[in-house]
Copies of this chain bind each other. A is one copy, B any other.
């Protein structure tokens, strides 16, 4: 499609993301509140959304080089957050699976983040909250269509 409003909206979307990231959701802080380095958090996050997966698969999706997956997985196993499982269909493959401990850690962390968000939103009036919520609900399905 051709839409002459595209430059304007992409500009506003850019500013929105910048603002969300700097004001609401400093990814630095989120990673630091986790007791694990970023790459390890990413792996758990990936497993949370994709279930068990081969190491190569995880590495590719997260842009982590394959050799670095070995020490990452080793450490996650040491922390009892992940398990190595054999793939019955291909004996070369090692499937990585999250433990219950990882699921709980992830869930706790999500709750903590949401609580922080809720606290930040408290400066808004009830009417403003309602407007914000409506805008979010409008955006969600539209973003779903992208990419």
Contact = CB atoms under 8 A, between A and B. Distances in A.
A9 B121 CA distance: 9
A54 to B, nearest CB: 20
Given A128-B142, A145-B128, A147-B120, A136 B13 contact: yes
A15 to B, nearest CB: 7
A117 interface: yes
Of A16, A24, A28, A133, the most chain B CB neighbours within 10 A belong to A16
Contacts of A24: 13, 17, 143, 146-147
B12 A133 contact: yes
B6 A121 contact: yes
A8 to B, nearest CB: 7
Contacts of A60: none
Classify chain A: how many residues form its interface, as a range.
35 or more
Contacts of A114: 7, 10-11, 14
Of A13, A113, A115, A122, the most chain B CB neighbours within 10 A belong to A13
Contacts of A16: 20, 136, 139-140, 143
A126 B143 CA distance: 14
A64 to B, nearest CB: 10
Interface in A90-147: 110, 113-115, 117-118, 120-126, 128-140, 142-147
